[in-house]
Amino acid sequence: MGGKSRILPPICLFYFSFLNLSKLFVFDMITQSTKKMIGILGGMGPLASANLYYRLIEIAQRDYHAEQDTDFPPMFLYNITLFGFDETGIVDPKLVKKQLIAGVKKLEQSGSDFIIIACNTVHYFYNDMQQAVRIPIISIIDETTRLVQETRYTIVGLLTSHTTKHVGIYQKALEKLGIRTLLVTEAQQKMLDEVIVHVMSGVQGEEDEKNLKIIVEDLRKQGAEAIILGCTELPLAIHQSDIHVPLFDSTTILAKAALRRALF
């Protein structure tokens, strides 16, 4: 007091110097991290979104030897309760598009470096969503069809929601790559929609797997060399170990693409 300067003892100076250096070190670790934040737009449906998140963790552990928390990329999962949408796909296009655009904007605001979407069908609005944000959105359609091309299959069977089949999202992308697409019948599509709603409600079982096997076998007999699971609910109802025809699991393909971008 009385205008006299106060001199801190050496131990205090050491403590504050150490504290400031520690803060700088932690800040440097955070800012210098090479990992990018993955923004996940989910909720279509919630179980399929949870499966995508699980695949990201599983693949990071298996392929990148992730162990400690810091080995995994940061992620922001935003599950939207999407109105105007059901097991068949898009019911109210204007309403769905509005919610999707709001969703990707929220992910951009969260600090995400790029976005992935746990649903094939809503990629019908891919261009609208991408135009609404400055960060890239990785297309599950592009990643899946690119892998089909790389593996040199020329005829593939397609299992999707009713909307995805009807608007031709996959057919158009595959045609550009010179790949022929075999589609299910209307009766088989109803079976697929039933499997999808069963997964959405968590009651999928042996009957769903049996029906999927029947559809896959029919496509194989028509000449399909492989099958695209073009709906993120379907990998929760059938697995590669269940059938002999090669499966392209769009959920796993998207997860691998996201990790390549996030970790390098």
Mean pLDDT of the chain: 89
135 within 8 A of 94, measured Cβ to Cβ: no
| Buried b or exposed e, range 134-166, using 16+ CB within 10 angstroms | ebebbbbbebbbebbbeeebeebbbbbbbbbbe
Residues 6+ apart with CB under 8 A from 95: 83, 84
> 12 an active-site residue?
no
pLDDT, tens digit (0-9, with 9 covering 90-100), for 103-128:
999 999 999 999 999 999 999 999 99
196: containing domain: 142-249
Helix axis angle for 140-150 and 250-263, nearest 10°, is 100
pLDDT tens string 3-28: 444 444 444 433 333 334 333 333 33
Sorted by sequence, the CB contacts under 8 Å of residue 149 that are 6+ apart come out as 177, 179
Q: Does residue 6 form part of some domain?
A: no
Clarify whether residues 60 and 186 are in a common domain.
no
pLDDT at 122: 97
What total number of domains does the chain contain?
Answer: 2
* Selected catalytic residue, list 192, 231, 236, 253: 231
- 149-205 pLDDT, tens digit per residue, is 999 999 999 999 999 999 999 999 999 999 999 999 999 999 999 999 999 999 999
CATH number of the domain at 105, please: 3.40.50.1860
Cα angle 212, 218, 220; round to 5 = 100
Burial of 67 per CB tally in 10 Å (0-12, 13-18, 19+): exposed
Q: Which tokens is 80 given? A: 């939207």
Residue 20 lies in a domain: no
The first and second tokens of residue 83, run together, are 């109105």
When pLDDT is averaged across residues 62-91 and rounded to a whole number, the result is 95
- The answer to whether residues 117 and 151 belong to one domain is no
Query: What is the pLDDT averaged over residues 57-72?
Result: 96
Q: Flag whether 8 is in a domain.
A: no
Among 44, 77, 119, 173, which one carries the catalytic annotation? 119
DSSP secondary structure letters along 150-176: HTT-SEEEEE--HHHHHHTHHHHHHHH
Task: Give pLDDT tens digits for 194-249.
Answer: 999 999 999 999 999 999 999 999 999 999 999 999 999 999 999 999 999 999 99
* Predicted pLDDT of residue 23: 37
Residues 133 and 147 in one domain: no
